Structure formats: C-alpha cells, structure tokens
Amino acid sequence: MHDMRETGSISDRLSEKGYRLTPQRLMILSAMESSHDHISAEEIYAQVAAKYPNVNISTVYRTLELLKKLGMVYEIDLGEGRIRYHAEGSGHHHHLVCQDCGDVVDIDESALSSLKDILLRDYNFRAELRHVAIFGFCEKCRKKQSGGGGKK
Ligand SMILES: [Zn+2]
Ligand SMILES: [Zn+2]
C-alpha cells in the first residue's frame, strides 16, 4: 500500500514537471513498483519488452537517467558489475553485501547515523548517505573461511 502510493506519485510528479507519460515510461515505473527489491535495467527491459517488443533498452536507460536526475530513483552498485535501482518511495536504507556469497542484507538508515555525526564533527563534511552498500563477509562465509570448525 505504501509502495503503491509512493510510486503513483512518481508518475504524478513526472507529469507535473511536464514529462509525457508514455506507455514505455509507465511500464518502467510499474516494473520498479512491482519489484520489492532492487531491479536492474536489464530486468526492467525484460518486463517492458514482454509487452512492447519494439522497445529499445536505451529507452530504459534514458528513462532511468531521467528519474535519477529528478531524484525519483536511487541507484546502487551491489558489486555484481551492474547497477540496480529502486524507487525513492521505498525509503532510505543501506545494504550489507557479502563479497563471498553475494548475500544482501538491508539495514536501517539510522545504522549509519553515528558515522554521519563523526564525519561532520571530525571532517566538517555533511555526508549524504541515502543508499550505501557496505562490503564484507557474512557470518556463514566467515565460518567457512575459518575452516568450518570451531577455530577463530
Ligand atoms: Zn536499496
Ligand atoms: Zn556470505
């Protein structure tokens, strides 16, 4: 319900700003809306092309660039060699990404608020931490690395 409202407002805001809501643009928005996770341009393209076979993937890239410029989507590199996107409406959050198994865990925005405070206090830098991927190793993989036994 929350997602529907927020994503609905993206298309509203697009048309308020004078952008035409072409069927392709609406399809791209609805692909992002129906994805409860981050979606890549390739995945969006696959969904749009299923309905509009003539759509070019560059249309998807252009639309994502536009939405990004307007601050309506955030992109994140989860270390897979491609960028994923999610709509602004799904809220600010960060990710813990396991470099070994690729597992991604969502963490609350507030988890990095003390880092923000430190950066401001010690470096006089106001960090915009809206969508950050932190790389490391999950518990499972650390256990595997240490030989799977009780060592370490
Ligand atoms: Zn995210
Ligand atoms: Zn792992």
Ligand nearest to the CA of 144: 2
> In the predicted model, is pLDDT for residue 67 greater than 60?
yes
Which domain CATH number covers 85?
1.10.10.10
Regarding whether 119 and 73 lie in a shared domain, the answer is no
> What is the Cα Rg of the chain in Å?
19
Residue range 42-63, pLDDT digits in tens = 999 999 999 889 889 999 999 9
Q: In this predicted structure, what is the pLDDT of residue 90?
A: 65
Q: How far is the CA of 147 from the centre of ligand 1 (A)?
A: 32
Length of the chain: 152
Q: N- to C-terminal Cα distance for the chain?
A: 46
Ligand nearest to the CA of 103: 2
Question: Residue 11 belongs to what domain range?
Answer: 2-90
Q: Note whether 104 and 118 are same-domain residues.
A: yes
Number of independent structural domains in the chain: 2
Amino acid 127 reads: A
Can you give the pLDDT at residue 139?
96
112-131 confidence digits (pLDDT tens):
999 999 999 999 999 988 88
